[in-house]
């Protein structure tokens, strides 16, 4: 079975993660934005997200120009649209009413990644020290047969299903003293939603103060 | 096919709905609390919910004493716990780690309703749709468990959202004509695919399958009413449990687009 390693790029200012960034029409967290923007090969806004980006980058807007803004443009203001167009950002109009702005933005992102030639068992690195203390596996969409390691309450080929068993308020297997926390591994036969707590860079939980030399 | 009429009791300060109220460990909306508390035959807090209740009822706490507070008491503060105990509120400790505080609080509520022989229309929950994502999902999971715990409808309200899991039985008839509905509604097949028929929505389903990855009905809205007519009820039938969710406003805060409605029965 192929191993699909996954780490959570936003958690660290350093690291060699290559990401592409989509911003949606919600208030933008400045700290997350700065860290992710720097690491991103491509950056896009879905419609009204451009308004939030425009506002939160006041004074430094030229360093935060998205590669494209997509959507039906019923949320972006005329002023913001004009600003980014003048700066050379592409506008990709998508008027299909059966798909959300997010889905359409993602479709364009995938197309761009392929066009520009950019690049089983999931292995989740959870050892940056910036994880929160909870995690969960949520079978949204239908039952999943799941195997995990590295969690406090692991699953051994059990079925997760709403109405029967949903793994919420789970947490990580405690690490041996001095050792880094083990990666979490998850295999599933259907799409399974992983969700976890995170802290902003620099805000560590008091319970992790014994961890030394965190690779941040 | 049996028709299951449902209205949304919190939407109105008046009305003769008999409800039972569960408060969860989330910031409590004062307006919702006052309307629901008055209509409730029984009121309960799940653990740390008591802290929120205590804070938000400062100056008038004696009029907001829950019948019981349940949970493993790892969230309620010592001060709050002492206050309510002194006032005669029952503490029901539930230490089962496989069930959430919400599920356990609901089990006690159902037990009390049966024990006291109460006639109840709906069990309403305040909180459960905010904060940690996994805890929101845990609230939804409790809605699923509730299907086998009680025949009573169980709803969750927080902020401007309401969530209600529709049983796979009969045809649900949802009254959405109080004027306090928001302008969005949705049908979300959280647990698995559902075959669905609806009327009264802007985008109805005619025996289509709702399923994550294929089709999920979000940002739906209501069929526009003829001028002068009340908005029609929404009907939904489904072959599997299906999550109905809708926007709500506080009493008295009407949307400007509804200003043409006359004599709203509030």
pLDDT tens readout for residues B83-120 = 999 999 999 998 877 789 999 999 999 999 999 999 99
Confidence category of residue A96, pLDDT binned at 50, 70, 90: confident
Return the closest-CA partner of residue B17 out of B5, B29, B26.
B5
Contact A195 B241 (CB under 8 A): no
How far is the C-alpha of A99 from the C-alpha of B123, rounded, in Å?
35
Whether pLDDT at A200 is above 80 = no
Question: In angstroms, how far is the first alpha carbon of chain A from the final one?
Answer: 31
| Rg (alpha carbons) of chain B, rounded to whole number | 19
How much is the average pLDDT of A75-82? 96
The region of weakest confidence among A10-24, A33-47, B40-54 is A10-24
* Bridge partners, B22 (sequence order): B44, B125
Confidence category of residue B188, pLDDT binned at 50, 70, 90: very high
**Partner-chain residue, chosen from A141, A161, A163, that has the shortest CB–CB distance to B212:** A141
How far is the C-alpha of B255 from the C-alpha of B185, rounded, in Å?
15
% of residues, chain A, pLDDT over 70:
85
Measured between beta carbons, the chain B residues lying within 8 angstroms of A104 are none
Using DSSP's 3-state secondary structure scheme, residue B264 falls into coil
* Bridge partners, A46 (sequence order): A70
Q: What is the tens place of the pLDDT at every residue in A105-153?
A: 999 999 988 777 664 578 899 998 899 999 999 999 999 999 999 999 9
Mean pLDDT of chain A: 86
- In this prediction, residue A199 carries a pLDDT of 87
Q: Token pair for residue B12?
A: 């109105």
Measured between beta carbons, the chain B residues lying within 8 angstroms of A134 are 132, 134
Chain A interface with B: residues with Cβ < 8 Å: 100, 134-136, 138-143, 161-163, 166, 168-170, 191, 195, 197
Neighbours of A100 (CB within 10 A): 16
State how far Cα A177 lies from the chain centre: 30
- Determine which of A163, A189, A199 to mutate to test the interface with B (most B C-beta atoms within 10 Å): A163
Phi then psi for residue A213, to 5 deg, are 50, 50
Side-chain half-sphere exposure of B41, counting CA atoms within 13 A: 18
DSSP secondary structure letters along B197-220:
EEESBSS--EEEEEBTTTB-EEEE
- Determine which of B134, B241, B243 to mutate to test the interface with A (most A C-beta atoms within 10 Å): B134
- In this prediction, residue B122 carries a pLDDT of 94
Contact A162 B144 (CB under 8 A): yes
Side-chain half-sphere exposure of B223, counting CA atoms within 13 A: 17
Measured between beta carbons, the chain B residues lying within 8 angstroms of A142 are 191-193, 211-212
Instruction: Give start and end residues of each alpha helix (H) in B116-154.
Output: 133-149
How much is the average pLDDT of B244-260? 64
Return the closest-CA partner of residue A181 out of A151, A156, A148.
A151
Q: In what order do the strands lie in the sheet with A193-198?
A: A167-170, A131-138, A193-198
CA distance B15 to chain A (A): 33
Residue A135: closest C-alpha in chain B: B134
Contact A141 B241 (CB under 8 A): no
- In this prediction, residue B261 carries a pLDDT of 35
Contact A136 B140 (CB under 8 A): no
Q: Token pair for residue A168?
A: 């919420």
| Overall residue count recorded for chain B in this entry | 266
Q: What is the tens place of the pLDDT at every residue in B44-58?
A: 999 999 999 999 999
CA distance A142 to chain B (A): 4
How much is the average pLDDT of A34-58? 94
Whether pLDDT at B191 is above 80 = yes
The region of weakest confidence among B109-123, B133-147, B224-238 is B224-238
> Under a CB-based contact definition with an 8 Å cutoff, are residues B245 and B201 in contact?
no
Residue A169: closest C-alpha in chain B: B134
CA distances to A36, A154, B229 from B5, in Å: 49, 42, 20
Whether pLDDT at A208 is above 50 = no
Q: What's the pTM value of the predicted model, to 2 decimals?
A: 0.79
> Under a CB-based contact definition with an 8 Å cutoff, are residues A25 and A101 in contact?
yes
Confidence category of residue A14, pLDDT binned at 50, 70, 90: low
Side-chain half-sphere exposure of B245, counting CA atoms within 13 A: 20
Measured between beta carbons, the chain B residues lying within 8 angstroms of A169 are 100, 134-135, 138
| ipTM computed for the complex | 0.84
Using DSSP's 3-state secondary structure scheme, residue B195 falls into strand
Strands A121-124 and A90-93: unpaired
Chain B interface with A: residues with Cβ < 8 Å: 100, 132-135, 137-138, 140-141, 144-145, 147, 189-193, 211-213, 218-219, 241
């Amino acid at each position: 079975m192929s191993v699909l390693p996954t780490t959570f790029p936003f958690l660290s200012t350093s690291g060699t993660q290559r990401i592409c960034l989509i911003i949606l029409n919600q208030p933008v967290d400045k700290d997350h934005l700065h860290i992710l923007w720097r690491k991103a090969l491509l950056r896009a806004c879905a419609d009204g997200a451009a308004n939030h980006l425009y506002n939160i980058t006041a004074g430094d807007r030229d360093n935060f120009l998205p590669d494209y803004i997509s959507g039906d443009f019923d949320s972006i203001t005329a002023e913001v649209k004009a600003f980014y167009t003048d700066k050379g950002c592409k506008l990709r109009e998508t008027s299909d009413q059966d798909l959300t702005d997010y889905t359409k933005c993602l479709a364009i992102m995938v197309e761009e990644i392929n066009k520009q030639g950019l690049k089983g068992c999931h292995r989740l690195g959870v050892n940056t020290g910036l994880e929160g203390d909870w995690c969960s596996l949520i079978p949204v969409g239908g039952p999943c047969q799941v195997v995990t390691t590295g969690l406090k309450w692991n699953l051994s080929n059990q079925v997760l299903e709403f109405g029967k068993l949903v793994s919420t308020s789970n947490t990580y297997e405690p690490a041996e003293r001095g050792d880094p926390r083990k990666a979490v591994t998850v295999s599933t036969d259907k799409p399974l939603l992983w969700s976890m707590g995170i802290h902003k860079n620099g805000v560590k939980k008091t319970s992790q103060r014994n961890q030394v030399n965190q690779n941040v």
